[in-house]
Chain A
Amino acid sequence: MINAYILLSMKPGKSDTAILKMRKIENVEKISIVAGDYDIVVRVHVKSLEKLLIVTDKLQMIEGVRKTTTQVIEKEIAL
């Protein structure tokens, strides 16, 4: 299984409708609106890199998404 964070930059005023669409995408585990260089951080959980591409593609097709940066998780410790 592959986990990844996808960092999104958004066009102003489009976040609410975009998030509604993101929540419907399969394999999206978590969506966080953040304050900083990016606007939204999405965590995805997919079976393969091919599936990751599909999720990334779906995300960048959403109206309002300006740019995506994908960070694939190599190792993790969590509570």
Chain B
Amino acid sequence: MRIRKRYLFYVLAFASTIIAAGVSSIDATINSLFIPNAWAFSFSCFLIGTGITFIILLIFSIPINKTKSLGAKIIDPSFNKIRFIRKSEIKYHTIAGLGNSILTIGYISLISILGDPAAVLPFTQIVILYLIIIESIIEKDTPTLIEIQSAIIVTFGAILGSISLTGDINLISLAIVFLIVNPAWVIFSIYQRKLKLLKIDDKPNDSLNIRFWNVIFACIFTSIIIITYDFLIGTEYLLEGISVSIKYFNWVALTMVVTFFSYVFYIRALGIGKASVTQAVRATVVIFVIPFSLLLSYFNIIPPFTTDPVMILIKIIGTILVLLGISTFALSLLKAYVFINVKPGYPIKETMDKLWNIHGVTRVTVIAGKYDFMIKIRIRTLMKGYEKIIKKIEEIESIKEYKWFSVLREWEEI
């Protein structure tokens, strides 16, 4: 079946989102019925996940013709076969693996405390708040009004949307969200994207091998964290993790297979479309998870939903706020092209690097013709365009003149 790339992006992003909602429900079921210990469950996920992912990659490595493997045909055209990690990837995989490990332990602890996946998932959207804070600190960049508004809307929306079935707000769960899950998610997503942007043998890095090596690194870090915890507290969660991995292999394997496809589709979508749009689509998970939660509630796996209309209204308002905040943040970007002429006697590479280091520049192109360089810019306000881009361009000695073209509307074949 052939599908246009534009539609493929939305198919992948929404498929990933719906699957993610399903995964949360499976996790909630396993946690509620079989493995209540979050530490043991987290370790079991990565232990079984490593094996499951390895088997899936072996299957996808089967060649279907002289040039393509099964995985390249149906999942990711960049995939060739399962491969060893490259030296250039180790640093990124180490950080992304640590992020995924902490994120998973925190996320399963939340599932364990709150029970309802519809209460857990809105919390993960608060990541936007952290991205803005990190940008403000690292880039010495003052957030714009729209960024602050979006972050506040999403944060309060997530808190309202996460009010539990019984109407309780759990302080421990809030601490886990703000101090563990979202910071870890930021690290995980930033380094996962860095891995996707790496070139392996002059080809784009493939999402299948990224996922495989991420699970391995996350498994190693989870083991280290749990061994340390066991040693300090005197628990035996690592042994419990091994024990539940054997006892409930089928359930954990199911959640890891489904998670695998959710992540692979997500990484693929990131490679096709814009990260901001992908993130906006992913935010709809807060809606998709509601039917799953109702189903779990119907089968008495989680406590029944409150029938108090005020609580239901609060939850609806929270969910809408999360969607509004994420969409505003993702879609309120200004774009511009700047065409540049340089003075003779300055190395092209040096000017290219200086332009690339300007915050907000998403593309630097050396061109032959009337101009020497074209840079593409993404900013939130025109004022920032002046403060952050124009001032920096003017500081580069080799630049003779430049012309700014604000993008008013754009069509892209993605």
Contact = CB atoms under 8 A, between A and B. Distances in A.
B54 interface: no
Interface in A27-73: 28-38, 41, 69-73
Interface string B325-342: 000000000011100000
Interface in B339-380: 348, 352, 356, 362-371, 374, 376
Contacts of A35: 405-406, 408
B403 A77 contact: no
B413 A30 contact: yes
B363 A74 contact: no
B403 A32 contact: no
B368 A36 contact: no
Contact of B374 (A29, A37, A70, A71): A71
A30 B411 contact: yes
A1 interface: no
Given A5-B374, A41-B337, A79-B197, A33 B407 contact: yes
A14 interface: no
A72 B368 contact: yes
B2 interface: no
A31 B369 contact: no
B363 A72 contact: no
B370 A69 contact: yes
A2 B312 CA distance: 56
A71 B369 contact: yes
A30 B369 CA distance: 19
Nearest to A74: B366
B38 to A, nearest CB: 36
Contact of B364 (A30, A37, A76): A76
Interface in A1-41: 4-5, 19, 23, 28-38, 41
Contacts of A32: 335, 337, 407-411
B356 A77 contact: yes
Contact of B337 (A23, A34, A72, A76): A34
B411 A74 contact: no
B412 interface: yes
Nearest to B363: A78
B34 interface: no
Contacts of B405: 34-38, 41
B276 to A, nearest CB: 11
B365 A73 contact: yes
B367 A72 contact: yes
A22 B357 CA distance: 33
B248 interface: no
B367 A73 contact: yes
A73 B352 CA distance: 13
Contacts of B408: 32-35
Interface string B133-147: 000000000000000
8 contacts: A31-B412, A32-B337, A33-B410, A34-B406, A34-B408, A41-B337, A41-B407, A78-B376
Given A41-B337, A77-B352, 5 more contacts: A32-B410, A33-B410, A77-B356, A78-B365, A78-B376
